[in-house]
Chain A
Amino acid sequence: MEVRDTDILMSDQSAVSLDQAYKLRVNGLNFYYGSFQALHDISVNAEKNRITAFIGPSGCGKSTFLRTLNRMHEETPEARVEGEVLLDGESVFDREISELRRSVGMVFQRSTPFPKSIFENIAYGLRIRGVDSSLISGLVEQSLKRANLWEEVKDKLKKSASGLSGGQQQRLCIARALAVNPEVLLLDEPCSALDPIGTSKIEELLLEIKESCTIVIVTHNMQQAARVSDYTGFFLSGKLIEFNNTKSIFETPSSKLTEDYITGRFG
């Protein structure tokens, strides 16, 4: 099983405590929708302040995997999980769910602005968190700046967020996620509905925010994974076929399946 690659990676770090090196650790994760098993024995780690990408064809389980990391799968009836997901060494299943999701933010495939103004879209998460209202407008500005959106929207903060372009909406969603200062940011195909310009802006942004945040991104755009990520995992039929640093995956994949996929022979 190629999954052992992760073991090699882990043994490299054996001197350091695993929890210090890895922000997120997943051990023996099985996932079921009713009686259908969507994920098989996934074990993988995400390093702190790095971008970890997961690629694979539609339906391979990569989004399902991402959704277990902030327990978003619990919104799906009949979904069931076995195995361990550790954030800083602590099981995410033991954390209070709202508090966990503030630490592990998420951005979705379709941009999902709230039916509110641009300002309120960002401020909402802060209010939920009970941030003092005198600090909110400063934090909103700061988050929009971090998401490289401030210059484009600073004159229309009171306008509805749905008036923004697709790319701007998606950066707004990233700003919204960043506003509550998450430790981890999960992105589920954030660029699949965007044009190349919108996509490259998001990619630049990801490289900036990894300085302060651990990023896990799911994409079926291999070039995107190659461009932005430090580590890449390849999912197929609910199994993690291969996981390694991005350069190795794309240049010297150890699995035939991975090679076939990245050279475009299927998927």
Chain B
Amino acid sequence: MASKHKTSSRTGNWRKWRGVLGFGLTGVATLISLGALFSILGYLIHQGIGAINWNFIVREPAAVGEAGGGIAPSLLGTLILVSISMVVGIPLGIGVGIYLSEIAGGTRFASVARIAINTFIGVPSIIMGIFVYFILVKPTNTFSAIAGGLALGIIMIPIIARTTEDVLRLVPKSIREAGLAIGAPKWRVTFDLVLPAARAGVITGGILAVARVAGETAPLILTALGNEYYPTSLFKPIDEITLRILKYARGPYDVWHQQAYGAALILVFGVALGSLLLRLSTRDHDALSR
């Protein structure tokens, strides 16, 4: 104790100031980052709110350059594309995650697969677009909702695989052993006990992946193309909200610019609302199982 008193008040002060400085810097970093994010949001609201009304959501686009009209086909198209991507990406991604965490474990194959997955998470999404363009769009000679959904689904796979593996590894070994100890075969332990224990994390990973692809544009230019009208077939070009934003933002008309901001605003709030709802629904369930 005596030695503690001997550390003179000068060193004590310096320590205190270093602490204040360290935490201060993290605070400043947070302020700057949040400031940037909120000014983007504020700008979007300021520019786009005027475009949003009931017709904007339920109407097809008006004739070129004319006021009015809406982005209903883009909203519907986004919904369809994201749904297709979920059908492709969620089962494959979760499957890969389970395989790496529960079956392949520490094998050489698993470590190579992990490097590949981490690489693919960082690969620019246009690459997936080009890939699908060459394996699907060119051979069938048509852009389509299927091609767009497939490209988005491929983007989801590594994201979901990675988060699924991570959260499965967090499930205590004791749960697996307890399951095996009552004579449950390994696959039942995985699906009945380990996966439910990691449920919230797997769902969060899914939300992140869906939110990510819902905002993708580049791969869709090469696969879904875009469309002025309501989708009539999964095998025809389809519109999507970011494609619509791109088109309107690049166009020459002020009304298009405002509608581009409006569409962007809807996209941001859509993604936020979706993840909020999913999170709430999983929290209720977790409260039950915990």
Answer yes or no: are A and B bound together in one complex. Answer: yes
CB distance from B284 to the nearest CB of A (A): 13
B interface footprint on A107-126 (CB within 8 Å = 1, 0 otherwise): 01010101110000000110
Is the beta-carbon distance between B181 and A101 smaller than 8 angstroms?
yes
* B104 on interface, CB distance cutoff 8 Å: no
Is the beta-carbon distance between B182 and A180 smaller than 8 angstroms?
yes
* B174 on interface, CB distance cutoff 8 Å: yes
Looking at the complex, which one of B106, B182, B184, B289 makes contact with A116 (CB distance below 8 Å)? Answer: B289
Give chain B residues whose Cβ lies under 8 Å from the Cβ of A154. none
CB distance from A66 to the nearest CB of B (A): 11
Query: What count of chain B residues pass the 8 Å CB interface test?
Result: 23
Is the beta-carbon distance between A108 and B193 smaller than 8 angstroms?
no
Is the beta-carbon distance between B180 and A128 smaller than 8 angstroms?
no
Is the beta-carbon distance between B178 and A173 smaller than 8 angstroms?
yes
Is the beta-carbon distance between B175 and A180 smaller than 8 angstroms?
no
Is the beta-carbon distance between B175 and A101 smaller than 8 angstroms?
no
Give chain A residues whose Cβ lies under 8 Å from the Cβ of B182. 101-102, 105, 124-125, 128, 176-177, 180
* A195 on interface, CB distance cutoff 8 Å: no
Closest B residue to A110 by beta carbon equals B174
Give chain A residues whose Cβ lies under 8 Å from the Cβ of B185. 98, 128
**Complex Cα spacing A112 to B177, Å:** 9
* B196 on interface, CB distance cutoff 8 Å: yes
**Complex Cα spacing A72 to B174, Å:** 12
**Complex Cα spacing A105 to B177, Å:** 11
Number of A-B contacts (CB under 8 A): 69
Closest A residue to B198 by beta carbon equals A115
* B188 on interface, CB distance cutoff 8 Å: yes
Is the beta-carbon distance between B179 and A114 smaller than 8 angstroms?
yes
Is the beta-carbon distance between A114 and B181 smaller than 8 angstroms?
no
Q: From known contacts A112-B177, A114-B178, A160-B288, infer whether A125 and B192 are also in contact, taking CB-CB under 8 Å.
A: no
Is the beta-carbon distance between A99 and B181 smaller than 8 angstroms?
no
Give chain A residues whose Cβ lies under 8 Å from the Cβ of B105. 77
Query: In chain B between 164 and 190, which residues have their CB closer than 8 angstroms to a CB of chain A?
Result: 172, 174-185, 188
Query: What count of chain A residues pass the 8 Å CB interface test?
Result: 27
Is the beta-carbon distance between B183 and A128 smaller than 8 angstroms?
yes
* A162 on interface, CB distance cutoff 8 Å: yes
Looking at the complex, which one of B174, B192, B288 makes contact with A124 (CB distance below 8 Å)? Answer: B192
Q: From known contacts A108-B177, A112-B175, A114-B179, infer whether A128 and B289 are also in contact, taking CB-CB under 8 Å.
A: no
Is the beta-carbon distance between A116 and B196 smaller than 8 angstroms?
yes
* B197 on interface, CB distance cutoff 8 Å: yes
**Complex Cα spacing A130 to B181, Å:** 16
Query: In chain A between 148 and 178, which residues have their CB closer than 8 angstroms to a CB of chain B?
Result: 160, 162, 173, 176-177
Closest A residue to B188 by beta carbon equals A128
Is the beta-carbon distance between A72 and B180 smaller than 8 angstroms?
yes
Closest A residue to B179 by beta carbon equals A114
**Complex Cα spacing A180 to B178, Å:** 14
Closest A residue to B174 by beta carbon equals A112
Q: From known contacts A98-B184, A101-B183, A125-B182, infer whether A114 and B193 are also in contact, taking CB-CB under 8 Å.
A: yes
* A70 on interface, CB distance cutoff 8 Å: yes
CB distance from B103 to the nearest CB of A (A): 13
Is the beta-carbon distance between B181 and A70 smaller than 8 angstroms?
yes
Give chain A residues whose Cβ lies under 8 Å from the Cβ of B183. 98-102, 125, 128-129, 180
A interface footprint on B188-210 (CB within 8 Å = 1, 0 otherwise): 10001100110000000000000
* B290 on interface, CB distance cutoff 8 Å: yes
CB distance from B87 to the nearest CB of A (A): 27
CB distance from A108 to the nearest CB of B (A): 6
* A106 on interface, CB distance cutoff 8 Å: yes
Q: From known contacts A101-B183, A125-B183, A128-B188, infer whether A112 and B178 are also in contact, taking CB-CB under 8 Å.
A: yes
Q: From known contacts A116-B289, A160-B290, A162-B290, infer whether A106 and B196 are also in contact, taking CB-CB under 8 Å.
A: no
**Complex Cα spacing A204 to B186, Å:** 33
CB distance from A101 to the nearest CB of B (A): 4
Is the beta-carbon distance between A115 and B197 smaller than 8 angstroms?
yes
CB distance from B181 to the nearest CB of A (A): 4
Give chain B residues whose Cβ lies under 8 Å from the Cβ of A251. none
**Complex Cα spacing A176 to B183, Å:** 11
CB distance from A125 to the nearest CB of B (A): 4
Beyond the given pairs A108-B178, A125-B182, 9 more chain A to chain B contacts, judged by CB atoms under 8 angstroms and listed by A's residue number, are A98-B185, A99-B183, A108-B177, A114-B178, A114-B193, A128-B182, A128-B184, A160-B289, A173-B178
Could you write out 24 A-B pairs with CB less than 8 Å apart? A70-B181, A72-B181, A77-B105, A77-B106, A98-B183, A101-B181, A102-B182, A105-B182, A106-B177, A106-B181, A108-B178, A110-B174, A112-B175, A114-B193, A115-B197, A116-B196, A124-B184, A125-B182, A128-B182, A128-B183, A160-B289, A162-B289, A162-B290, A180-B182
Q: Which B residues have a C-beta under 8 Å from some C-beta of A?
A: 105-106, 172, 174-185, 188, 192-193, 196-197, 288-290
